[in-house]
Amino acid sequence: MSGLKTAVLLAALSALLIAIGGLVGGQGGLLIAFGFALVMNVGSYWFSDKVVLRMYKAQPVGPGHRLHDMTARLAQRAGLPMPKVYVIPDMSPNAFATGRNPQHAAVAATEGIMRLLSDAELEGVMAHELAHIKNRDILIGTVAATIGAAITMLAHMAQFAAIFGGGRDRDGDGPNPIALLATAMLAPIAAALIQMAVSRSREFVADRVGAQIAGTPMGLAQALQRIEAAAKQIPMDANQATAHMFILSPLSGRGLGSLFSTHPPTQARVDALMRLRMGA
């Protein structure tokens, strides 16, 4: 069901892009915006692993290290190539996966999460991260980001056209400036809401697949609760652009802010994992 939801959300994002492209610049404007967004995000997709690992000063670990050996067992169970394994020198508990495909993947965990969690709980976390790799969620996120960026660029074009009276011919036909200005204001918000919903739906999928890889949902469910409680005591100095990558967002969001959150509420994730345990 979550996979279908992701497909529907991506279709909605694409429909929004087409509708705004037609309003602002026709097919030509749409293609230009999408082309720029594609180039920008493909570069990010191709090199994101190196950039984000360097950003958090992640250090590689090899055989004999607790995290490496645990990941090796889980990757074999999941039928995945062995990813590179890194430790982040940060006491806030968190972890993430990155890489453009299963053959070029990496997982990273903070020192804090390894100190906090038991082996069963840490296995649940690393299985979740391997699920992101298995499901190619980084590619899905890049597709959503590319469409969202194109929408934002078209919105800027709409704002420019509204201010300077563009888009109308000599007979006064063409987009209404007020409609253009409204589009410029609302389109990026709508795109961001859909993009965040895509991210949240992929977290539920990764939780479910991660529980299958680990063999039980209990370790991950307990880990999520412990990570959330500990992260409030030891917040992480994380870059907003990378918040979606972590198992729990290092950025807090409540009220309306939760609509723009990259992650579902922790309790909703735990409840879903408990339903898996009960076979619901």
The catalytic residue positions are 129
The whole-angstrom separation of Cα 224 and Cα 127 is 13
Residues belonging to the chain:
280
CB 118 within 8 A of CB 176: no
CA distance 106 to 22: 40
How far from the centroid of its chain's Cα atoms is residue 180's Cα? 30
Cβ-in-10-Å burial (0-12, 13-18, 19+) of 115 comes to exposed
101 — phi, psi (to 5°)? -165, 175
Sheet holding 84-88, edge to edge: 59-60, 84-88, 104-110, 95-101
Residues 6+ away with beta carbon under 8 Å from 219: 118, 120, 121, 122, 123, 124, 125, 127
CB-CB contact of 266 with 202 (8 Å): no
Query: Rounded to 5 degrees, what are φ and ψ at 221?
Result: -60, -45
